[in-house]
Amino acid sequence: MSSSNNTGVSCHHINDTQLLDAVRQRFEQLLDDESTNKTHHFGGRFENIYPDKSRFPEMDQLSLFLLDLARQRLGTETDLQLGYWFNLMGPGHTTSLHTHEENDELLSGVCYLQVPENSGDIVFPVGENTQRLTPQTGDVYLFSPTLPHLVEKNRSSENRLSVAFNIGPRR
């Protein structure tokens, strides 16, 4: 399933719950591992969590799926690369307004691995075209790296887990 809206965000869904569960479970195993890098400490949490890719083979299949979506969205067969990080949002946590335009990204996105009810919408505030999306487990949103976005407060009593990514030309 795929759709697009007035902010240029395309919406997709992954139905392979075994893959999503395997990625989530491996993330949980590696979260406190000494090889896992954590950055952007705001509001009592690390916004970006980078597990050691060599210890995370479950991400290989998900990465291939996301790269295929990106090629379709970009209309190219170009060799692309994907860089990813995890966002673990506990109750009460938010993510402030930001963009992903740092290098030579062509596309950015987020894939939702665990989404409790009332755990916060992703919002793309673009003038009169502000788009608010309520993610579900398995949703994937693709958007321009220059598109500002934020994540509202997690009002649930559970953690929300997503993997964010940037896609650019292979170097």
pLDDT digits 0-9 by tens, 129-148: 889 999 999 999 999 999 99
pLDDT of residue 1: 46
**Secondary structure (3-state) at 10:** strand
Q: Mean pLDDT over all residues of the chain? A: 88
Q: How many domains does the chain have?
A: 1
Q: What is the mean pLDDT of residues 25-54?
A: 76
**CATH number for the domain harbouring residue 27:** 2.60.120.620
Tell me whether strands 10-13 and 2-4 are parallel, antiparallel or unpaired.
antiparallel
Instruction: Indicate whether 5 pLDDT > 60.
Output: no
Q: Which helix (H) or strand (E) holds 87?
A: strand 80-89
> Considering only CA atoms, which of 85, 83, 95 is closest in space to residue 50?
85
Question: Which structural domain, as residue segments, surrounds residue 131?
Answer: 2-169
Q: Which amino acid is at 41?
A: H
Instruction: Indicate whether 9 pLDDT > 70.
Output: yes
pLDDT of residue 13: 96
pLDDT of residue 99: 87
- C-alpha 146/C-alpha 131 separation (Å) is 15
